[in-house]
A = this chain, B = another copy of it.
């Protein structure tokens, strides 16, 4: 440590855009991820965990906001400073790594390959309130199946998953659409020439991202982005796709094509894509998925066709889907709004071909873990906090072994328990500690109790607001305290905890 003495102290701060998660924040997420994994497993999906680091070339560049530093990823070059090794990067999602994994291991994997994956991903974006640069995703994908049955299965599984973690039917809807329909509409509008797709790639990307912002910007905002561009509240100008008003109108007609029933929506879409072969194919695919889902009992109360869903990512080639929570919450400014999207996905038939040159169809879903967790907390579906431990206080620091024995006995019977390990001199500090630990009970055994073969058990929930400077004597007089035989410690504590949880 000596060498640090003359250096300035390091700042005890997470890097900007990162945060720490404590206690129940961690265990609740784990519990939710386990519940999701159970559904995925039941559907025959196998676990996969790839490493956080990939080569930049393997990841590719598919993030919606390509104008970010380092194209939105955290990247560095292998070797010493200024080295000439591979460029490496932290994964920005779990889909790009899946394409690499499948291309690398396809001879050892079943085809079709159903896999799920969960873990953190990283985006090198400008951090903002509630926007973090590390967050969890939980994905399920099927690689190697071109049929719409794979997409229908993913949508059904998504609905089952939301219900399994605690989102009631009626509180969510899975909305599906198809990129081919949008491409067909753009073809009809003259924005996209199927024989020269690269010519319109940039405009197409702007159109996609503009539609994806519909719920945030409204129709006027999207229309501006489809045309010349849009100046936002901060004064920044976002370049538009350069569509004529007529073209923009056609695209907006598509976005608003949702009708009362799925059949009516499909009929309207058929009109809009006219003679575009791509568009017709997309409408057919939508019809197939809807048919399979209806046959499985997934009706319009759970899954609907909605042309306003496009998803921002560049790699989707056919069906796209999005799960939205439909109940209302109050936003930061106290306004009521729908909770919104918690999962999205779609078909990306070209991602594996990047590596192998061969067509490998694929489709899948990604759950935004943090948002879904926030929704469950909103709905009160998560135990609000962890259970605090029973705290064995230290009255006589020479008898630490006695106190440890009590904690050990409690743990052997499954009771979470710990000995106070701070400086035991000030007993009030021990009680403040127990309070901060949300401890249900404290155990006390001073010399006098030891001599009589008894211990005191203090019910801390009843005495939660302990005066900061209460003396031990004052504190012992409080009603919620019982004296029991030392030999009855475990049984009494268990009884008291059971009655507490029964009464809670």
Interface on A for B, CB 8 Å cutoff?
A: 1-4, 9-15, 18-27, 30, 41-44, 46-55, 57-58, 60, 69-70, 74-76, 78-81, 83, 86, 88, 90, 100-101, 103-105, 110-112, 114, 120, 122, 133-134, 142, 144-145, 147, 149-150, 152-153, 156, 197-198, 201, 291-292, 295-296, 315, 350, 353-357, 386, 389, 391, 397, 400-401, 404-405, 407-408, 411, 414-422, 433, 436-437
Shortest Cβ distance from residue A46 to the other chain B in the assembled complex, whole angstroms: 5
How far apart are the CA atoms of A74 and B144 in the complex, in Å? 35
Residues of chain B lying within 8 A (CB to CB) of residue A422: 111-112, 144-145
CB <8 Å contact, A58 and B26? no
How far apart are the CA atoms of A134 and B1 in the complex, in Å? 27
Residues of chain B lying within 8 A (CB to CB) of residue A391: 44
Residues of chain B lying within 8 A (CB to CB) of residue A419: 149, 153
CB <8 Å contact, A4 and B354? yes
CB <8 Å contact, B58 and A13? yes
Residue in contact with A53 in the complex, picked from B50, B51, B134, CB distance below 8 Å: B134
CB <8 Å contact, A405 and B350? no
CB <8 Å contact, B53 and A411? no
CB <8 Å contact, B69 and A114? no
CB <8 Å contact, A18 and B198? no
CB <8 Å contact, B414 and A42? yes
CB <8 Å contact, B10 and A55? yes
How far apart are the CA atoms of A70 and B147 in the complex, in Å? 48
Residue in contact with A15 in the complex, picked from B21, B53, B103, B401, CB distance below 8 Å: B53
Nearest to A105 among chain B residues (CB) is B20
Shortest Cβ distance from residue A271 to the other chain B in the assembled complex, whole angstroms: 27
Nearest to A355 among chain B residues (CB) is B12
CB <8 Å contact, B47 and A296? no
Nearest to A26 among chain B residues (CB) is B47
